[in-house]
């Protein structure tokens, strides 16, 4: 599986099965960390879970040992999936409400990773109207529901509500990651802005946050690719499994890309690269001595065009961030630069584009136009990678 599973154990009798669940996930190649909800340690020993996972068991949001001192954020970023097993009626109801009243629920609110729950409760609790409504709510939000199973329960009653067996849960979690569309492929992604220095203090840049490029890097990794992320200055932590190359200026980015582009199968140019740079950069801070200042600019190299025009170019995907006539400008860029695909998006508003968590994309090829509606950039990135992989296989 080669994934990071964050296992949340809530306070139900089925918690005694979770050491075996950790072991089964590990046998599939997953790395597992465990969060115990309040009172879950009454049903399973933390030391047992630590022994089989190889990690300390978590139960508090604020810990001195966590990277940032904010354990919920560190864990939320670490996970490829959050799995809650057993998921009691209580924890399911609190997830529906968006509660963040303990570490497990807080991580679920903070994570962009998919969430899966393996329900475990008395058969009558499972049949309760509130439980049914809560499960429907979670499903409508994209939460994966694993089970429950039917059979004899700890209370002696028989019916639906038993947690699936650990081997079944592990297999289903593994199945959620069966995206092998880019396995063995090498993908280079540029992300973020560039900074064109005027002097040692000031420079010309743009509002790109790097969020879309970083999300695409993570999605490509999930699809099995070996990813090189060439990034301008951002405040985002890059995916740990990407080879990250940090650059500042457009010239830096061009050099970094061309240095290893011949080793890539796919190139995705997401970075907002400055079209021009100052022809001269002052060695010292420019003083405010005049009412006006003239800056002479020179054109930067076109990274995307240079890659697409190589003798043996990789599959090339461009991005077009426009404030108006988005599709028309993007189609012209597709044809002019000889790209395989271009992702066009509107920027300048407050709801999508630079610096916002959401985006909407129009994906354009020579023969097709696909509208991808507004959604979280991480979710959108997974769809984009799937479409890119599909188009790549057709060449």
* Higher per-residue pLDDT: 68 or 245: 245
- The pLDDT value given to residue 180: 79
Instruction: Annotate 164-200 with b (16+ C-beta within 10 A) or e (fewer).
Output: bbbebbbebbbebbeeebbeebbbbbbbbbbbbbbee
Worst-scoring range by mean pLDDT, 155-164, 259-268, 279-288? Answer: 155-164
Regarding predicted confidence, which is higher, 389 or 152? 389
For domain 4-176, the CATH architecture is: 3-Layer(aba) Sandwich (3.40)
| Residue-wise pLDDT tens digits, 376-389 | 787 788 889 999 99
Q: What's the pLDDT band for 61 if we cut at 50, 70, 90?
A: low
| Same fold for the pair 4-176 and 186-393 | yes
**pLDDT tens per residue, range 80-104:** 999 999 999 999 999 999 999 999 9
CA distance 302 to 191: 15
| This prediction's pTM | 0.63
- pLDDT of 71: 59
DSSP per position, 291-312: S-----EEEPP-HHHHHHTSSS
- What's the average model confidence in pLDDT over 151-180? 83
Mean pLDDT to the nearest integer, 192-212: 94
pLDDT at 149 over 90: no
Catalytic residues: 155
* Percent above pLDDT 70 for the chain: 94
How confident is the model at residue 66, as a pLDDT? 47
What phi and psi, each to the nearest 5 degrees, are found at residue 164?
-55, 155
Q: What's the mean pLDDT when you consider all of the chain?
A: 90
Q: At residue 3, does pLDDT exceed 90? A: no
In this predicted structure, the answer to whether residue 47 has a pLDDT above a threshold of 80 is yes
151: left (phi over 0), alpha (psi -120 to 50) or beta: left
pLDDT in tens, 306-358: 999 999 999 999 998 777 777 888 899 999 999 999 999 876 555 555 667 78
Distance from C-alpha of 395 to C-alpha of 392, rounded to nearest angstrom: 6
Is the pLDDT reported for residue 63 higher than 70?
no
Q: Each residue of 127-146: pLDDT tens digit?
A: 999 999 999 999 988 899 99
Q: What is the pLDDT of residues 348-369, one digit of tens each?
A: 555 555 667 788 899 999 888 9
| 10 C-beta neighbours (distance < 10 Å), count | 27
Domain boundaries, the chain: 4-176, 186-393
Could you tell me which residue, 180 or 202, shows the higher pLDDT?
202
pLDDT for residue 174 is more than 60: yes
Strand pairing category for 186-191 and 149-152: unpaired
pLDDT at 326: 79
Is the confidence at residue 1, as pLDDT, over 50?
Answer: yes
- Can you give the pLDDT at residue 349? 54
3-state secondary structure (DSSP) of residue 362: strand
CATH superfamily of 186-393: CoaB-like (3.40.50.10300)
Strand, coil or helix: what is 184? coil
Alpha-helical (H) ranges within the chain are 18-27, 46-53, 71-78, 89-97, 103-110, 123-127, 129-140, 166-176, 211-222, 250-260, 303-308, 326-336, 377-393
- 18-41 pLDDT, tens digit per residue, is 999 999 999 888 899 999 999 999
């Amino acid at each position: 599986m080669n994934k990071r599973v964050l296992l949340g154990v809530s306070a139900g009798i089925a918690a005694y099965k979770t050491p075996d669940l950790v072991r089964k996930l590990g046998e599939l190649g997953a790395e597992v960390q465990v969060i115990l909800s309040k009172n879950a340690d009454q049903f399973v020993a933390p030391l047992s879970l630590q022994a089989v996972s190889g990690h300390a068991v978590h139960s508090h949001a604020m810990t001195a040992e966590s990277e940032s001192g904010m354990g919920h954020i560190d864990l939320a970023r670490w996970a490829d999936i959050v799995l809650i097993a057993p998921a009691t009626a209580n924890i399911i109801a609190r997830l529906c409400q968006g509660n963040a009243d303990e570490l497990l629920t807080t991580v679920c609110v903070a994570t962009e990773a998919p969430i899966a729950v393996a329900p475990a409760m008395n058969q009558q609790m499972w049949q309760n109207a509130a439980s049914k409504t809560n499960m429907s709510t979670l499903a409508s939000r994209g939460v994966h529901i694993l089970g429950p199973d039917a059979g004899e329960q700890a209370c002696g009653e028989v019916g639906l509500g038993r947690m699936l067996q650990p081997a079944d849960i592990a297999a289903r979690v593994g199945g959620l990651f069966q995206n092998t569309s880019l396995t063995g492929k090498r993908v280079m992604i540029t992300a973020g802005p560039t900074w064109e220095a005027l002097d040692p203090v000031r420079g010309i840049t743009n509002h790109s946050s790097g969020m879309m490029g970083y999300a695409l890097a993570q999605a490509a990794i999930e699809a099995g690719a070996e990813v090189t992320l060439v990034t301008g200055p951002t405040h985002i932590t890059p995916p740990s499994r990407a080879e990250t190359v940090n650059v500042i200026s457009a010239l830096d980015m061009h050099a970094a890309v061309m240095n290893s582009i011949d080793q890539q199968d796919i190139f995705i140019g997401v970075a907002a690269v400055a079209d021009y740079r100052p022809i001269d950069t002052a060695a010292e801070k420019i003083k405010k001595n005049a009412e006006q200042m003239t800056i002479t600019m020179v054109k930067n190299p076109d990274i995307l065009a240079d890659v697409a025009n190589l003798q043996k170019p990789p599959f090339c995907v461009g991005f077009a961030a426009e404030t108006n006539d988005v599709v028309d400008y993007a189609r012209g860029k597709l044809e002019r630069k000889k790209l395989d695909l271009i992702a066009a998006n509107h920027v300048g508003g407050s709801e999508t584009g630079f610096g916002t968590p959401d985006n909407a994309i129009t994906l354009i090829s020579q023969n097709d136009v696909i509208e991808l509606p507004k959604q979280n950039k991480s979710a959108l990135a997974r769809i984009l990678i799937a479409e890119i992989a599909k188009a790549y296989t057709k060449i």
